[in-house]
Amino acid sequence: MAMAVLELLHERPMHPYEMTQLMRDRHLEIRVAVKPGSLDHTVDRLLASGHIEVVETQREGRRPERTVYALTEQGRDAFVDRAKTMLGTLASEHPEFLSGLGAMDDLGRETALEQLRMRLLQLEAKAASQEVITRRLVAEVPEIYWVDWRYTTAQVRFELEWTRQLVDDITTGRLGWTGDRRPKRLSPVPTESTEDRSDDRAS
């Protein structure tokens, strides 16, 4: 949430209500939980840490006052440094789907197929709803503001096609099942120890 707030204030000063609206318009919920309470808490923390500052207080009619915030130099530097790291560094992420795939043989063929088909239905629905949102973004919002959305939809489309292929591989028997006949030692990815042993044999 902090990065999302700094990102918006990097564009221009604004008050929390405007931040919330822009986050929703740009569908930032794909990377942050857009909730007014959490936004206010984040703004308070950034203000206390010196990353943002109050520049104006607005009042329209009988509406409550709205405090306008802007980035400080400290906040601008922190935002740029963090954004560069996030964009250019390959992070270690651990999706639950990978653990599920690793446990397929333990679940059994039919159970695995049942769960994968359920996942396919969800992915198909998600891809369809994303397409509707993408059409609106294309018509209303400059593309530079939703490149992250493009990435997210591409991920969903890839996972959809990949999962379809996996279901087909299981259904047709191209992907074999070991069940209770699983080998005692499995090391599909070379570890440091196995690589060291290979080097020792070579020398």
pLDDT tens, residue order, the chain (203 aa)? 999 999 999 999 999 989 998 888 888 888 887 776 889 999 999 999 999 999 999 877 677 788 999 999 999 999 999 999 999 998 888 889 999 999 999 999 999 999 999 999 999 999 999 999 999 999 998 999 899 999 999 999 999 999 999 999 999 999 988 765 665 555 556 655 555 555 555 54
Q: Which residues contact 165 (CB under 8 A, 6 or more apart)?
A: none
pLDDT score for 180: 53
CA atoms of 197 and 172, how far apart (whole Å) = 38
CA atoms of 130 and 126, how far apart (whole Å) = 6
CA atoms of 81 and 47, how far apart (whole Å) = 19
**Domain range list for the chain:** 2-88, 96-184
Residue 128: count of CB within 10 angstroms of its CB: 9
pLDDT score for 93: 82
pLDDT score for 192: 56
pLDDT score for 191: 56
Read off the pTM.
0.73
pLDDT score for 202: 52
Please give the CATH number for the structural domain made up of 2-88: 1.10.10.10
Q: At 1, is the secondary structure helix, strand, or coil?
A: coil
Q: Which residues contact 59 (CB under 8 A, 6 or more apart)?
A: 65, 66
